[in-house]
Amino acid sequence: MAGLPFDQREGVIWYNGEFVDWADAKVHVLTHGLHYGSCVFEGERAYGGKIFKLTEHTERLIESGRILGFEVPYSVEEIDAACVEILDRMNLVDAYLRPVAWRGSEMMGVSAQQNRINVAIAAWEWPSYFKPEERLKGIRLDMAEYRRPDPATAPCRSKAAGLYMICTLSKHAAEAKGYADALMLDYRGLVAEATGANVFFIKDGEVHTPKPDCFLDGITRRTVIDLIKRRGVNVIERAIKPEEMSDFEECFLTGTAAEVTPVSEIGPYTFSVGELSKALMEDYTAEVTPASSGEAAA
């Protein structure tokens, strides 16, 4: 089923409080979320049948909606329970989950105060975001043309669908040139993030990462920062200029999909896949494995 289009798969999807057949989880062509980007979502992973940091993801989904001016009509507890149940109904153990909330089709125009807020949750098997052989040797990133916007021009604290348009454009452009992904700068010309993951650098035994003041402070990012600190390694969150990348020894990405993925190249800059990057890959695997982390499903 892995190669099937997502609208042709089998199973069930949680849709506005009910479990419906996968093929019946549809929206109308005049849905506000499609035309105006009034949509927020989450990406979550289940390991060994347990969803990692489920409640944190659900809380962010609701907060993302609030930032976009709408109230998700289900509680954290209801959405958490639905995520757990969809995993069970789909008979999945290691999986990816996609909760999504969007404005419906009651009004069509920029104003949409009367539109219903719809919520759906789907789950499917999904392996590592990057090919395993690429992760072990370090993936290659291009420099993106588009930049993360000024917080005064976009709701950067929300995991909003519209903010990913430039990510798709940047990733497509990078893949067309043989790269796995692209590194985006921010509106000031400082290092920001990859198209769907946060970025970290290592130099002289310390870890440096951009301060998330105009892009998402990822849940995986925060998890990895904690893992780094547990190792007694100093983490410095700061503004990073692109030219500083010439002095960094190692680089890696973090994200629910990317997990911890070493980087060997960003444009003209090269990095080694060193011991700390490899150790953090192992640390993260141990953290998300239920027997090791004790992470609860709900």
CATH of the domain at 230: 3.20.10.10
- The two tokens of residue 56 are 């944190």
- Kindly give the pairing relationship between strand 269-270 and strand 259-266: antiparallel
pLDDT tier for residue 293 given thresholds of 50, 70 and 90: very low
| pLDDT score of 133 | 66
Residue 56 within a domain: yes
- The two tokens of residue 220 are 């995986």
Query: Are 223 and 85 part of one and the same domain?
Result: no
Question: Above 90 in pLDDT, residue 182?
Answer: yes
* Choice among 159, 171, 203, 241 that is catalytic: 159
Write down the mean pLDDT value for the chain.
94
Residue 296 within a domain: no
Mean pLDDT, rounded, for 123-138: 76
Query: Are 59 and 150 part of one and the same domain?
Result: no
Mean pLDDT, rounded, for 112-133: 85
Residue 295 within a domain: no
Query: Are 91 and 175 part of one and the same domain?
Result: no
Helix axes 219-230, 275-288, angle to 10 degrees: 110
Domain that holds residue 249: 132-290
Question: Above 60 in pLDDT, residue 298?
Answer: no
Number of domains, the chain = 2
Domain boundary at 67, 89, 124, which?
Answer: 124
Distance separating alpha carbons of residues 122 and 95, to the nearest angstrom:
10
Query: Are 137 and 282 part of one and the same domain?
Result: yes
Mean pLDDT, rounded, for 43-69: 97
- Percent of the chain at pLDDT > 90 equals 91
Among this protein's residues, is 171 annotated catalytic? no
pTM value?
0.92
Residue 39 within a domain: yes
Query: Are 286 and 223 part of one and the same domain?
Result: yes
Mean pLDDT, rounded, for 25-38: 96
Question: Above 80 in pLDDT, residue 152?
Answer: yes
| pLDDT score of 296 | 41
Question: Above 90 in pLDDT, residue 77?
Answer: yes
- The two tokens of residue 88 are 């069970």
Instruction: Mean pLDDT check: name the lowest of 99-108, 178-187, 284-293.
Output: 284-293
Query: Are 192 and 217 part of one and the same domain?
Result: yes
Q: Which residues pair with 236 in a beta bridge?
A: 208
Query: Are 64 and 138 part of one and the same domain?
Result: no
